[in-house]
Amino acid sequence: MGKGQVYNRESFLNTVVAKLGRERKTNVSKPVWTTTPQFEVLKDASQDELVDVLKKHCEVIHTQFIETNLEKLTQTIRNVFEQYEVGSIVTWKDERHREFGLDEGLLTQLPNEGTSVHIWDPALKEKNIQAAEKADVGITFSDITLAESGTVVLFSNENKGRSVSLLPKTYIAIVPKSTLVPRMTQATSIISKQVQAGEKISSCIDFITGPSNSADIELNLIVGVHGPIKATYILVNDK
Amino acid sequence: MAMKIGEDKFFERVDKGVQNTFMRNAVVSAQERMQGKRLAAVEELGNWEEWRKLGEEIRTHTLENIDYYLEQLSENVTKRGGHVFFASTKEEANEYISKVAKEKRAKKVVKSKSMVTEEINLNAALEKAGCEVIETDLGEYILQLDDHDPPSHIVVPALHKNKEQIRDTFKEKRGYDKSEIPEELALFAREQLRQEFLSADLGITGCNFAVAESGSISLVTNEGNAGLVTALPKTQITVMGMERIVPTWEELDILVSLLCRSSVGQKLTSYITGLTGPKDEGDVDGPEEFHLVIVDNGRSNILGTEFQSALNCIRCAACVNVCPVYRHIGGHSYGSIYAGPIGAVLTPLLGGYEDYKELPYASSLCAACTDACPVKIPLHELLIKHRRKIVEDEKKSPFAEKLAMKGYQLAASSPSLYKAGTKSASTVMAPFTQSNSIQKGPGPMKPWTDVRDFPAPNKERFRDWYKKREKGEE
């Protein structure tokens, strides 16, 4: 990837420092903040307690919460499909499908049963987006899950398209229990450490907390505006 | 629209606001609900003051070193293949964005909600460049369809409209034939906008916070429209006020947490998207080209002044939601897209005292705004600083007020004049007095007495009463 261009930076920043009454700074150390309340939130909570927090908060964010184990995961997903009357799905090309027994147990079976399955494939380019737009359900794994706010964090890449969680009418997040952390603090810390280690972070990191909603009409909460109208988190006891 | 909304004078705008019963009821109800949600979210944390303190520290440090962080941000955006344009003025910003739109031969532009693009009047510039611009936030979409009605609240822009008005607008402008039930209205907007997302050439967003360490921008929405605006069109342009920046992802956590709790009482909104550059090679969705436009437009003039902390604002509108003046007059009365206490502080700084000298006086100085601000901007103190500046440095107080103050200064420095004045006050004010209160008062009293009672001077002066009491007559 080529380097981008910067325009007008010098004059702009020189104006800024002139107003601040000093010279340009070439090195700034971030101070040690005098207080760090973010680390206090759920700091002693066990993984099971985090599950309880997540489960409870799903009620607030209009999201169905289902807890299951690896053995029952396939059937649990099938049950949700039935509930949503699903005829087509779109999902990532994800190693975890195999790890969680979804490849053979579900994804290869569904087309034989009349449910269309589109697995994101960069070689298919725009057809992926068209499939996501037509799909009844988008399914992704959660990469990191924030118990406090009921948020799934998704790191997109060529196999993990952004549209899967955005375009279909319903969204299902498979939440491995091992991905649970107390709050956003732990997720942003992971990302920040990647940056500091010189690693390339994902071009799109989505923090998704339930279905799309709006309160723009007389402050009435409307669930489902541009993105998914319904959302389900399936927590899997993976460890 | 630009930052300035309408040509009416301040008191004409206030009159309209005060007489708009629906709007006032909507504002009262919204304030109560949003304030209630905010307080519940704050209480749940239990150590809100610690969070505020951290928020203030982060914002203050970042602003004091803003040149360093903006440079770091721009370096990191370009490393990922994005382009960065530093715009000193709104004209420069609009010219660059229009140039990109023309180069891309963009016909259709989808936008997510952004105050800074409103401030620089970007839509008009893009339309002039031959683009159709479509607002995708539901509130902004409603306002755009309703002949570009201005927003009246920073977070809930169409707060002043009721569902019947929205139904009528959809009916008239888009052939809607269903009811005024909010869910039906929203579903209609969803259907209308879905094809626009899929067929747009250009996506434009604001920026809640940029992250210097990685060259990322973050977008905070509940609707998910920003995700669609940035995932589907081939080109993305993000416009940010230069102060909307944090050093690292760790500080992004704090400010996003403060923003979501303070604005809508949520722990996090439904969608928070962190975007870094254009899409990576091999990615299917996401823009092929990414431009970040960093806007000054008067902000640097606030740096190094007594008003610098106003730039700490994270646009949560918590101050708006507790303000008794906003409650009384509504958002349009401020004559600016930035309403409420932060609007009364920020608008005169960005738009000048000539147009906005009344705004710092549109405050009860009750300090509820200062208490509500998640990054501890001393809003009511900044309003007092504005007033001092308007009167002492700019000499912009009205002639009648200057005369009254001169008269008071003269009378208060002379015991005989003071005595004469207090003795005659009751008689002088008699023509304006009804039931012990002054109505339709003269000179600088008029704006106050038009909307509020003002107690009439007592017929008996305190000194006379005290003398009688000493003599044992009372």
Residue A37 in any domain: the answer is no
**Domains in chain B, CATH or no CATH each:** 10-301 (3.40.50.10420), 399-462 (no CATH)
pLDDT of residue B436: 82
Question: Is A39 in CB contact (< 8 Å) with chain B?
Answer: no
pLDDT of residue B415: 86
Asked whether the beta carbons of B20 and B331 are under 8 A apart, the reply is no
* Cα gap B246→B66, rounded to integer Å: 9
In this complex, which of A16, A120, A161 lies closest to B303 when CB atoms are compared?
A: A16
B316 is known to lie in a ligand binding site:
yes
B chain contacts of residue A16, beta-carbon cutoff 8 Å: 66-67, 70, 242, 296, 300, 303
Most A-contacting residue of B33, B65, B67, B88 (CB-CB within 10 A), to test interface: B67
Residue B425: helix, strand or coil by DSSP?
Answer: helix
Angle between helices B48-64 and B249-264 (to 10 degrees): 130
Most A-contacting residue of B235, B268, B376 (CB-CB within 10 A), to test interface: B268
Given an 8 Å threshold on Cβ–Cβ distance, is A195 in contact with B249?
A: yes
Residue A62: pLDDT band with limits 50, 70, 90? very high
Question: Is A118 in CB contact (< 8 Å) with chain B?
Answer: no
B207 is known to lie in a ligand binding site:
no
Given an 8 Å threshold on Cβ–Cβ distance, is B198 in contact with A133?
A: yes
Residue A61: pLDDT band with limits 50, 70, 90? very high
Query: What secondary structure does DSSP assign to B63-115, as a single string?
Result: HHTHHHHHHHHHHHHHHTT-EEEEESSHHHHHHHHHHHHHHTT--EEEE---H
Residue B305: helix, strand or coil by DSSP?
Answer: coil
Q: What is the number of helices (H) and of strands (E) in chain A?
A: 7, 13
Give the predicted TM-score (pTM) of the model: 0.93
Condensed to tens digits (0 to 9), the pLDDT of residues B319-375 reads 999 999 999 999 999 999 999 999 999 999 999 999 999 999 999 999 999 999 999
Q: For all residues of chain B together, what is the average pLDDT?
A: 93
Residue of A nearest to B260 (CA): A149
Given an 8 Å threshold on Cβ–Cβ distance, is A207 in contact with B159?
A: no
pLDDT of residue B99: 98
Asked whether the beta carbons of B107 and B130 are under 8 A apart, the reply is yes
Q: Averaged over A185-205, what is the pLDDT? A: 98
Condensed to tens digits (0 to 9), the pLDDT of residues B166-211 reads 999 999 999 999 999 999 999 999 999 999 999 999 999 999 999 9
pLDDT of residue A117: 98
Given an 8 Å threshold on Cβ–Cβ distance, is A203 in contact with B156?
A: no
Question: Is A5 in CB contact (< 8 Å) with chain B?
Answer: yes
Length of chain A: 239
pLDDT at A239 over 80: no
ipTM of this predicted structure:
0.97
* Cα gap A203→B79, rounded to integer Å: 12
pLDDT of residue B452: 75
pLDDT of residue B448: 75
Q: Averaged over A206-211, what is the pLDDT? A: 97
| CATH number of the CATH domain containing A142 | 3.40.50.10420
How far, CA to CA in Å, does A4 sit from each of B66, B278, B282? 21, 10, 18
Cross-strand partners of B235? B202, B289
Given an 8 Å threshold on Cβ–Cβ distance, is A161 in contact with B136?
A: no
Angle between helices B21-45 and B10-19 (to 10 degrees): 90
A chain contacts of residue B282, beta-carbon cutoff 8 Å: 122, 157-158
Residue B6: pLDDT band with limits 50, 70, 90? confident
Which of A16-20, B420-424, B461-465 has the least mean pLDDT? B420-424
- CB proximity under 8 Å: B 54-73 to A: 54, 57-58, 61, 64-71
Residue A101 in any domain: the answer is yes
Residue A32 in any domain: the answer is no
Phi, psi for residue B339 in degrees, rounded to 5 = -100, 175
Given an 8 Å threshold on Cβ–Cβ distance, is A204 in contact with B26?
A: no
- Domain hosting A140: range is 46-237
Q: For all residues of chain A together, what is the average pLDDT?
A: 96
Residue of B nearest to A130 (CA): B198
Given an 8 Å threshold on Cβ–Cβ distance, is B285 in contact with A27?
A: no
A chain contacts of residue B71, beta-carbon cutoff 8 Å: 9, 13
Residue B1: pLDDT band with limits 50, 70, 90? low
Question: Is B44 in CB contact (< 8 Å) with chain A?
Answer: no
Q: Averaged over B304-309, what is the pLDDT? A: 98
Asked whether the beta carbons of B197 and B229 are under 8 A apart, the reply is yes
Report the share of chain B in percent with pLDDT over 90: 75
B chain contacts of residue A218, beta-carbon cutoff 8 Å: 26, 162-163, 182
Question: Is A162 in CB contact (< 8 Å) with chain B?
Answer: yes
Residue A20 in any domain: the answer is no
Question: Is A226 in CB contact (< 8 Å) with chain B?
Answer: yes
Report the share of chain A in percent with pLDDT over 70: 99
B366 is known to lie in a ligand binding site:
yes
pLDDT at B133 over 70: yes
Given an 8 Å threshold on Cβ–Cβ distance, is A1 in contact with B81?
A: yes
pLDDT of residue B472: 82
Q: Averaged over A127-151, what is the pLDDT? A: 98
Q: Averaged over B109-138, what is the pLDDT? A: 97
Could you list the beta-strand ranges (E) of B354-469. Answer: 433-434, 437-438, 454-455
Q: Averaged over B138-151, what is the pLDDT? A: 94
Question: Is A37 in CB contact (< 8 Å) with chain B?
Answer: yes
pLDDT of residue B402: 78
A chain contacts of residue B214, beta-carbon cutoff 8 Å: 191, 195, 201
Residue A13: pLDDT band with limits 50, 70, 90? very high
Given an 8 Å threshold on Cβ–Cβ distance, is A212 in contact with B282?
A: no
Residue of B nearest to A17 (CA): B67
Question: Is A26 in CB contact (< 8 Å) with chain B?
Answer: yes
Question: Is B36 in CB contact (< 8 Å) with chain A?
Answer: no
Q: Which of A170, A158, A151, A57 is nearest to B272 (CA)?
A: A151
Given an 8 Å threshold on Cβ–Cβ distance, is B222 in contact with A215?
A: yes
Given an 8 Å threshold on Cβ–Cβ distance, is B296 in contact with A12?
A: yes
In this complex, which of A31, A203, A227 lies closest to B224 when CB atoms are compared?
A: A227
B319 is known to lie in a ligand binding site:
yes
Question: Is B349 in CB contact (< 8 Å) with chain A?
Answer: no
Overall number of domains in chain A: 1
Question: Is A57 in CB contact (< 8 Å) with chain B?
Answer: yes
* Cα gap A235→A179, rounded to integer Å: 10
pLDDT at A9 over 70: yes
Given an 8 Å threshold on Cβ–Cβ distance, is A227 in contact with B280?
A: no
Shortest Cα distance from A164 to chain B (angstroms)?
Answer: 10
Residue A27 in any domain: the answer is no
Shortest Cα distance from A71 to chain B (angstroms)?
Answer: 30
Given an 8 Å threshold on Cβ–Cβ distance, is A192 in contact with B250?
A: yes
pLDDT at A31 over 90: yes
Residue of A nearest to B72 (CA): A26
* Cα gap B425→B423, rounded to integer Å: 6
pLDDT of residue A202: 98
Shortest Cα distance from B385 to chain A (angstroms)?
Answer: 19
Q: Averaged over B263-287, what is the pLDDT? A: 96
Given an 8 Å threshold on Cβ–Cβ distance, is A13 in contact with B142?
A: no
pLDDT of residue A19: 98
Question: Is A195 in CB contact (< 8 Å) with chain B?
Answer: yes
Question: Is B195 in CB contact (< 8 Å) with chain A?
Answer: no
Condensed to tens digits (0 to 9), the pLDDT of residues B391-412 reads 999 888 777 777 778 888 888 8
* Cα gap B135→B161, rounded to integer Å: 17
Shortest Cα distance from A86 to chain B (angstroms)?
Answer: 20
In this complex, which of B267, B272, B304 lies closest to A20 when CB atoms are compared?
A: B304
